[in-house]
Amino acid sequence: MKPNCTVLAGLLALTAVPASAQLDKLKLSDTVQSIKFAGDLRLRNDVSAKRGAGQNNRGRLRYRLRFGPEIELPENLTAIIRLGSGTGEQVSTNQSYDNLGAQKAIWLDLMYLRWKPMLNDDAMTSLHAGRMQNPLWRTYSSDVVWDDDFNPEGFGESIEWVLPGPDMSVFANGLQAVADEDSNSGKNQWVFSSQFGVEKTLPLESRLRVAGAYHKWSDENRSSFGQVTVQDGNRRLTNGSLAARFGVGEVTGQLSSWIGSVPLAFQATVIRNFGQVHNDNIQGPIGRDGYQAGLIIGSAKAKGQWEAAYFKKYSQIDSTVADVADSDFGDGGTNRVGHIAWIAYAPRDWMVLKVKGFVTDALDRSFPTVAGVTPNAGTNLDKAINRLQMDLSIKF
């Protein structure tokens, strides 16, 4: 009887301690100025209908977890760490319900240092190094070039100046990322991006933000990138390396406005691969252009809010590097044209319900549209893919 009482008394004593006092016992090193944990969790039903030889319809129940700390250090330095679910792909942290409940892996999704020096009262500067969030400014339509899940490994720089006078700011972003390192080559493969943009306040509380960028890949034809996921599109050599060269020019922009109290955002991105010219590896149409354009009405960011959106996307075979482009359009990648639409509703500040549909088709059927499949097989050239995603997302 007596030992039980002791345990009970101990438990009562523990629960009687206020939460704040328990937190006081959390020991942090003197270097840590503050620490913030955040994350998100998404449950998805992903259904795709595929037409074409060798193509199967699929229905996948999937989840995504991302979670980690932002650790504020001295001297305006922050360490950002995030773990993510998935299968280690460069363009997704999705994991399917699969293999009789087998344990699923956790990956390093972000791990970088951010330095925000105070250089000027009218300028915001930040420098990044590590495996980081893409430092380039992007809208939804920018995923014709960059999948939102792609976290480059290298260096990033961002600066934005507020100009005196006409409600205007200018900004510049840089990215120098290692695409791949190989033991048999002293030279890494890289991507170098430079972006310059401007934001201007317009009448009727409208705003226009536009940026031009150039994404230059180097040694992209030397070998493959050793990437986990090879996406559709892009001509490739038998060793898996890209056949075309890539120097992609991009103009991306957003015009935000209002209909009464409902926000409205027009977005468009236009790309051309200026690196793409005829060479020994490139026969047939050169295939170097792409765009995505559309609008989002409303904004499902707080309790009771909704949004609806429509976009048209068009991406020729070598318009950009397929393996870092949006992974949800068709099976992901390039050489595809189609429509994207969604509606979303936020029943709580921290919860969003979303239904998103894709109606797509292969753009040029004379090319292999399935990664790694040669065209002369006569299969896989007809590749219409329609897709429906139903999401429940929680932010915490």
Nearer to Ca ion, 173 or 327 (CB): 327
Closest C-alpha to 175, from 229, 216, 114, 222? 216
Minimum Å distance from CB 207 to Ca ion?
27
CB-based contact 176:195 (threshold 8 Å): no
- CA–chain centroid gap for 237, Å, is 27
Nearer to Ca ion, 48 or 78 (CB): 48
Minimum Å distance from CB 303 to Ca ion?
27
* 215 CB burial (10 A radius; 0-12, 13-18, 19+): buried
Nearer to Ca ion, 70 or 180 (CB): 180
Closest C-alpha to 322, from 129, 111, 63, 145? 145
What SS3 state is found at 369?
coil
Minimum Å distance from CB 270 to Ca ion?
21
Minimum Å distance from CB 177 to Ca ion?
14
Alpha carbon separation from 62 to 43, 45, 303, 389 (Å, rounded): 6, 6, 25, 10
Nearer to Ca ion, 157 or 182 (CB): 182
Number of H helices, E strands in the chain: 2, 17
Nearer to Ca ion, 72 or 180 (CB): 180
Nearer to Ca ion, 226 or 284 (CB): 226
> Which residues of the shown chain bind Ca ion in the complex (CB under 5 A)?
91-92, 147, 149, 180, 182, 223, 226, 327
Nearer to Ca ion, 76 or 185 (CB): 185
Query: Which amino acid does the sequence have at 93?
Result: T
Question: For residue 192, what are the contacts with CB-CB under 8 A and spacing of at least 6?
Answer: 175, 176, 215, 216, 218
Minimum Å distance from CB 138 to Ca ion?
13
- Give the span between the Cα atoms of 361 and 351, in whole angstroms: 32
Minimum Å distance from CB 237 to Ca ion?
12
- CA–chain centroid gap for 92, Å, is 8
Minimum Å distance from CB 376 to Ca ion?
26
Closest C-alpha to 175, from 218, 128, 211? 128
Nearer to Ca ion, 240 or 375 (CB): 240
Minimum Å distance from CB 188 to Ca ion?
8
Nearer to Ca ion, 45 or 223 (CB): 223
Quote the DSSP letter at residue 232: B
- Give the span between the Cα atoms of 296 and 354, in whole angstroms: 14
- Give the span between the Cα atoms of 175 and 137, in whole angstroms: 11
Minimum Å distance from CB 119 to Ca ion?
35
